[in-house]
């Protein structure tokens, strides 16, 4: 019987560790929160050793690590360093959700799955080369969807699509150009699901194009800052029907995202060897939403 | 029924967030403390969004913000940014007590009210242009007192007195020079209450002048570091009679200040829309002391 | 009857306050942890005032200070500043364990005491001029041991040995050169206990020399990073017999170190006037191991 408190170590690359992630951690049941801001990969080893060497292997599941911060690439570098520091049975569970990218991508794909069959759907991911877009494409491809990875430049999207195909061992992902209306009309033809995961304030899909896409069933916009990415979708939309299309805005997806985020943090304390990245968080989300 | 923990977010402009404010927060019942040091106005939006978007409107009263740090002007700028970031029902209660200025001013005026009728008193505030002095003058003026705002330079005190009059919609505050003994003798004539709120270690009222002031009933010195601001008053004085005058030193006022500080923090969690600045803290102090 | 929460204020000279020390503090029963990184002696006064002035003298035992960080000299400077800041009855208990030096030295000497009589033993401390080595020598000398303080340069070890003799009011400590095998053979002659406290990854005692030392009964190596300091000792060794010598490695001593660390933190909250440095932690360790 162990009475060790649940400690969550928050490693955040931003100067001030995220209030958002801290509140969710508290609400998810973390009893002690060690919040670190301005964390660089070189800082990781010492911090993680402190987690590894203080509680016996049987109690290590009560210590877990959360990696946040607004920069997803930095978060990924920290995660790599964390898992590399572990050895033998001296591991803690760890979760990556820098910029909310994993929980957001998981929530978007799980909402989509309520309306289309992922293994058969043809999907277009707008802003597909960004951290959230790549994760959305990865999750869709793993479910067997045919994925078009949209980007202004197909030269930029190409290698990323190839990398995702390699990761998920499929040929499901293809790069498409979506930089102007003509490109977009080609890219969206026959698409049933569109998910916009672009930078804040960039209009990715004009209403005119959307309305011409007869095949479209579901449109999910993950951008919360106006102008939204899919014209005509409201940030509050949640299963809202607009012109025969089911739409979601960022806040409409937010409830699912938050539920997944909390469940993922809570699950860290069930074992000492979990590594929660996009796929694991998506799988977990499927059980809790 | 909500079981959300009470989270206090401490925004402090000093590099290390105040231990003093953290201990008081714990003793006031905050269950989780997110302490941030080196906070600049530009950092505020992201941090406050994290508070706004993590708990539903019904639960937002369990998240509150405390603004501290030794620099009152910086604290005021942070408060401005915090309230500007809120929108719709997504607000948290917030309290400003940078450098303890609000709780100290409230405590001093509340102690004075035990001995004189504020609406009829003539008061001199020494060090009146500093952050505590301005707050003391504001609180006194609101209660209807006739206030003389003392400063070495009447040119400096003038605009501040005018600003306070405008804020409290009165003509109760007048600037007076208190730079030398001659000025002081004029400024203090007919005064029943003197409150010294100057910089640490500056003697503002020599014993000789104080003894000549026959009208004086109450002398409160808020400076804890010797030499004290009012010569002959001891930092431990609490309702101490000296030469017919009731005196208070900084530590004598400290018990009341601490009680107000704790009550103010505790009250933040009663609703999600409180903004506690000098006046609100003074009012709350009147109920708890 | 007091219900004040136990607050531990962690002052750490490293940029990120130690995860290790935080986990131990939580497991030792600290209910609130105020962790400060990048603490400089000049920061101490303000932070300590916040501890002194927030709870009445009767409740000050519920607030305590832990000084950590990887740099022992900086930790000592912070401790000095902390105790200098206290006055009158306004004190908190404080513990120094920068780089784990005090708990490690105490654990090593306490393990040795299980196998040899400290008051009669002749001991060699390798890496004796470093922070852990100096503490080991101090503790041994206080128990009456004959101590040889080993260093590559006897010129460096001489003044340190003299300083320790002065501190413990004895002539028990003598400097010896241990830089090459010939020096070592002289230094270790007749020695029953050897404790290696050198820098990580430096081999201080080759197997050949150790095997020639017929008098040797106990060998303790405090270095956890290969190559270990005493050739042939494993980091996991705990009372392991090797060639007739009882050996300990760093992890073998770690259990005792951890028990002492936890007990020391817990004991801070029993009174408000403890100052726990090497000797006090050693004494306390004798009761709990």
- Residue A15 burial (CB count, 10 A): 13
* Share in percent of chain A as helix, strand, coil (round to 5): 45, 20, 35
Distance separating alpha carbons of residues A160 and A162, to the nearest angstrom: 5
Name the residue facing C23 among A36, A39, A50 (closest C-beta).
A50
- For residue A218, the cross-strand partners are A193, A246
Distance separating alpha carbons of residues C132 and A190, to the nearest angstrom: 71
- For residue A241, the cross-strand partners are A246
* Average of per-residue pLDDT across C41-55: 96
B222, B227, B226, B225: which is closest to B247 by C-alpha? B222
- Coil, strand or helix at B224: coil
Question: Does C36 sit within 8 Å of B26, measured CB to CB?
Answer: no
Residue B114, phi then psi, degrees to nearest 5: -75, -20
State the DSSP code for C206.
-
Q: How many helices (H) and strands (E) does chain B have?
A: 10, 12
CB C79 within 8 A of CB C102: no
Nearest-CA distance A222 → chain B (Å): 15
- What integer pLDDT is reported at residue A68 of this predicted model? 98
Helical H runs in C99-241?
101-112, 131-142, 154-168, 181-188, 207-212
Q: Is B48 on the interface with A (CB under 8 A)?
A: yes
- For residue C96, the cross-strand partners are C67
Distance separating alpha carbons of residues B32 and A101, to the nearest angstrom: 26
Find all residues with CB under 8 Å of B30, minimum gap 6, and list them.
B6, B7, B8, B64, B265, B269
In the predicted model, residues of chain A with pLDDT beneath 50 are: 1
Distance separating alpha carbons of residues A8 and C244, to the nearest angstrom: 45
Chain B segment 252-281 residues within 8 A of C by beta carbon are: 254, 258
What's the start-to-end Cα distance of chain B, in Å?
31
Nearest residue on chain B to C53, alpha-carbon basis: B20
Length of chain A, in residues: 289
In the predicted model, residues of chain B with pLDDT beneath 70 are: 1-2
A267, A287, A226, A212: which is closest to A93 by C-alpha? A267
pTM score, two decimals?
Answer: 0.94
* Cα dihedral B285/C33/C7/C81 (nearest 10): -100
Helical H runs in chain B?
19-27, 41-52, 72-85, 101-112, 131-142, 154-168, 181-188, 207-212, 250-268, 278-288
More confident residue, C230 or A225: C230
Question: Does A54 sit within 8 Å of C27, measured CB to CB?
Answer: yes
Question: Does B23 sit within 8 Å of C63, measured CB to CB?
Answer: yes
CB burial readout A233-266, b (16+ within 10 A) else e: bbbebbeeebeebbbbbbebbbebbbbbbbbbbb
Distance separating alpha carbons of residues A276 and A65, to the nearest angstrom: 10
ipTM (interface pTM): 0.92
- What integer pLDDT is reported at residue A201 of this predicted model? 78
CB C256 within 8 A of CB C286: no
State the DSSP code for A161.
H
Neighboring chain C residues of A49 at a CB cutoff of 8 Å: 19-20
Domain boundaries, given as residue ranges, for chain B: 7-96, 102-253
Q: Is A207 on the interface with B (CB under 8 A)?
A: no
C287, C284, C289, C286: which is closest to C264 by C-alpha? C284
- What integer pLDDT is reported at residue B1 of this predicted model? 42
CB B123 within 8 A of CB B191: yes
A283, A270, A289, A278: which is closest to A103 by C-alpha? A278
State the DSSP code for A244.
T
Distance separating alpha carbons of residues B28 and B59, to the nearest angstrom: 19
Neighboring chain B residues of A27 at a CB cutoff of 8 Å: 4-5, 54-55
Cα–Cα distance list, B172 to A163, B21, B159, B178, C9 (Å): 73, 33, 14, 18, 46
CB C215 within 8 A of CB C192: yes
Which two structure tokens, joined as six digits, stand for C17? 């306050």
B7-96 and B102-253 have identical folds = yes
The sheet that has A7-12: what strands, in order across it?
A32-36, A7-12, A63-68, A93-96, A275-276
pLDDT tens-digit map of C105-116: 999 999 999 999
Neighboring chain C residues of B18 at a CB cutoff of 8 Å: 46, 50
- What integer pLDDT is reported at residue A2 of this predicted model? 54
The sheet that has C238-242: what strands, in order across it?
C173-177, C146-151, C122-126, C193-196, C218-221, C245-248, C238-242
Name the residue facing A20 among B36, B38, B54 (closest C-beta).
B54
Question: Per CATH, is B7-96 categorized as 3.40.440.10?
Answer: no
Neighboring chain A residues of C261 at a CB cutoff of 8 Å: none
Question: Does A47 sit within 8 Å of C26, measured CB to CB?
Answer: no
- What integer pLDDT is reported at residue B2 of this predicted model? 54
Question: Per CATH, is B102-253 categorized as 3.40.50.720?
Answer: yes
Distance separating alpha carbons of residues C5 and C23, to the nearest angstrom: 18
CB C26 within 8 A of CB C266: no
- What integer pLDDT is reported at residue B64 of this predicted model? 98
Question: Does C254 sit within 8 Å of A43, measured CB to CB?
Answer: no
Which residue is listed with tokens 């004189």?
B116
pLDDT tens-digit map of C252-283: 999 999 999 999 999 999 999 999 999 999 99
Distance separating alpha carbons of residues A238 and A255, to the nearest angstrom: 10
Q: Which chains touch A (3 or more CB pairs under 8 A)?
A: B, C
Mutate to test the interface with A, among B10, B53, B61, B272 (most CBs of A within 10 A): B53
Distance separating alpha carbons of residues C209 and B52, to the nearest angstrom: 67
Length of chain B, in residues: 289
Q: Which chains touch C (3 or more CB pairs under 8 A)?
A: A, B
C143, C102, C141: which is closest to C261 by C-alpha? C102
* Average of per-residue pLDDT across C185-209: 92
Q: Is A8 on the interface with B (CB under 8 A)?
A: no
Name the residue facing B34 among A22, A24, A27 (closest C-beta).
A22
Question: Does C55 sit within 8 Å of B19, measured CB to CB?
Answer: no
At what angle are helices C19-27 and A41-52 packed, to 10 degrees? 30
Neighboring chain B residues of C34 at a CB cutoff of 8 Å: 19, 22, 35
At what angle are helices A278-288 and A131-142 packed, to 10 degrees? 70
């Amino acid at each position: 019987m162990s009475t060790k408190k649940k400690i969550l170590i928050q490693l955040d690359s931003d100067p001030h560790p995220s209030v958002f992630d801290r509140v969710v951690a508290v609400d998810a049941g973390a009893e002690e929160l060690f919040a670190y801001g301005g964390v660089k990969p070189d800082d990781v080893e010492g911090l993680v050793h402190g987690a590894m060497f203080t509680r016996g292997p049987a109690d290590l599941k009560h210590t877990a690590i959360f990696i946040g911060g607004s920069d997803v690439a930095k978060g990924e570098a920290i995660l790599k360093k964390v898992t590399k520091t572990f050895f033998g049975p001296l591991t803690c569970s760890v979760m990556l959700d820098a910029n909310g990218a994993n929980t957001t991508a998981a929530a978007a794909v799980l909402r989509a799955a309520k309306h289309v069959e992922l293994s058969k759907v043809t999907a277009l991911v707008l802003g597909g080369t960004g951290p959230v877009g790549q994760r959305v494409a990865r999750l869709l491809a793993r479910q067997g969807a045919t994925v078009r990875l949209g980007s202004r430049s197909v030269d930029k999207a190409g290698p990323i699509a190839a990398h995702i195909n390699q990761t998920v061992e499929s040929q499901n992902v293809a790069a498409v150009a979506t930089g102007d209306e003509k490109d977009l009309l080609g890219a969206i033809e026959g698409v049933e699901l569109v998910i916009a995961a672009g930078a804040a304030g960039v209009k990715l899909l004009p209403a005119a194009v959307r309305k011409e896409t007869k095949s479209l069933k579901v449109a999910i916009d993950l951008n919360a800052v106006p102008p939204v990415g899919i014209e005509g979708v409201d940030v509050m939309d949640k299963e809202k029907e607009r012109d025969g299309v089911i739409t979601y805005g960022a806040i409409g997806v937010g409830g699912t995202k938050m539920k997944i985020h909390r469940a993922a943090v809570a699950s860290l304390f069930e074992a000492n060897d979990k590594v929660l990245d996009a796929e694991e968080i998506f799988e977990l989300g499927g059980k809790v939403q």
